[in-house]
Amino acid sequence: MRRILSNVWPRAAAANHGQIQLLSDLHLEVGQQYASYAAFPQTAPYLLLAGDVGRLTDYQPYAAFLAAQAARYDRVFLVLGNHEFWGLRYEAAIDTARRLCAEPALRGRVELMHRRRWDCPRTRLSVLGCTLWSRIPREAFAAVRDKVRDFRRIEGWTPEEHVRHHEEDVAWLRDENSETQEKMSDESLDLKAASEAAVAKFQLERVLNQDQAGRRTSLVGTVDGKPALLILERATFPTTEGYLGRLPGSLARLQNLGANDVYSWHMARAGADAAGETAADFYPDLKINLIYPCTESHVKKYSKQGVRFVTETPALYRDKIRPYMQSKRDQGRLNWVFNIIEGHKEVEDIIYRTPLGAAGDEGFLLLPDLNWDRSTLDALHLLGLVERRDLWSLRDLKKKHIPWLQHMKAKLTDATVATYPSIEADQLKLYVHYQPTYYHFHIHIVHVALEAGATQATGKARAVDPGL
């Protein structure tokens, strides 16, 4: 005969409570093993005894076995198998099982699953249980009656009774399953509506954390007076060209941060302003960099790149890399750098500089990198530009440059800490790129908490220190 546990849904509150340990066909009546088998290993909070555990005619030892399990498990589900009915009439066996499960020693923890649904309080765990007698074709009645011992061991049991209870079990299970599915659908809709309403009720108490890029913020507060966490994360951009094509022209507000040569950078808001909001209340949700007019080199830079680790020999540098650097410098791609050094552009952004020309070959300046939003300190990214134009990359550095590098590192660090007092010197990283994006020697100054993406990858970023 078949027993079935149908429709078990994990608890929403704790997935562990959705785990059910299953035992069946123990046949403890053989050798009266009810007491000796009562301490088997427990592997889950719920226990399903799925039929043929013992016989109901062994009432006292069966009750003692169930009491032992009720003391160990949060809940015990008892499904009757065909052997439970042996020695009794069908109706008498059901009555006996109900009386057994109601024994005080079982502490109300044993559930008789005879065409019954059990719902775990305050969770979404539901259990549907029935014996589900097997289907017997009418033409097999005679053979089954002769060969299956149930028809001799269960009082008054006949193939007709067997089939009738099979059909009643199936009908009950189908109806209950359908009702459960409808209930789950309704509960799911209710849960969605309630969760959406809860977001709008969130009352902020304090900000817990914000990632370095400012894309994810964790807040603690309350909803209806109960503690709640709200994690805000910027969604990814849709990939449809229709949306992306409309976006630049649909921006509600746009604020320029700076412009230099073909480059400009802005903060923007995609959504409409809130009622009563003033210009001082501008909270952007987009940072926009514009390169106009752009070149094919710009297009290649911002396209998906293949990456390789290459061992650069002196011959490779002399024959391939250095000529490539020269060609890029000759294309006017450093005009924006020279504009800054000569004081034509971004003058108001300069954080520190040596007097222009006064330091000879050792002059340098410090300003924000165009990729930084200028407000998220954990994502701090500054740029140190040297005045001299004969240093294209770290390949041009010599031993004689070490004191100058040490001096420059100290000055850049001091200027950063003085400008942003909440940052300490040991929270800064200074490094150079090889290969750099543009061939004029420069140093990156970033917060140690800045997410180490591809620009800080091993082999790409080299720390500025005496061992450089």
412: exposed, middle or buried (C-beta count within 10 Å: 0-12, 13-18, 19+)?
buried
Q: Smallest Cα–Cα separation from 21: which of 75, 59, 101, 87?
A: 75
Beta strand 203-210 with 216-223 is: antiparallel
CB atoms within 10 A of CB 123: 15
User: Is residue 17 annotated as a catalytic residue, yes or no?
Assistant: no
DSSP E strand boundaries for 8-74: 20-23, 46-50
Print the SS3 string covering 383-396. EEEECCCCCCCHHH
- Amino acid symbol at 369: D
User: What's the predicted TM-score (pTM) here?
Assistant: 0.47
Q: Which of 83, 162, 442, 447 is catalytic?
A: 442
User: Between helices 59-70 and 90-101, what is the axis angle to 10°?
Assistant: 40
65: exposed, middle or buried (C-beta count within 10 Å: 0-12, 13-18, 19+)?
buried
CA dist., res. 184 & res. 47, Å (int): 24
DSSP bridge partners of 386? 364
Angle at CA 123, nearest 5°, toward 118 and 124? 70
- Amino acid symbol at 34: Y
- Written as tens digits, the pLDDT of the chain (468 aa) is 334 443 433 333 333 445 899 999 999 999 999 999 988 999 999 999 999 999 999 999 999 999 999 999 999 999 999 999 999 999 999 999 999 999 999 999 999 999 999 888 777 778 899 999 999 999 999 999 999 999 999 999 999 999 999 999 999 999 888 887 777 666 665 666 777 777 788 888 888 887 655 677 888 888 888 888 877 777 777 778 888 888 888 887 888 888 888 888 888 887 665 555 555 666 777 777 788 777 777 777 777 777 788 889 999 999 999 999 998 888 778 888 999 999 888 888 999 999 877 777 889 999 999 878 888 888 899 999 999 999 999 999 999 999 999 999 999 999 999 999 999 999 999 999 998 988 999 999 999 988 766 677 777 788 887 555
Residues 6+ apart with CB under 8 A from 266: 254, 255, 256, 257, 287, 288, 289, 290
- Please give the biggest Cα pair distance in the chain: 113
Residue 269 and residue 286 in contact, taking contact as beta carbons nearer than 8 Å: yes
Residue 127 and residue 118 in contact, taking contact as beta carbons nearer than 8 Å: yes
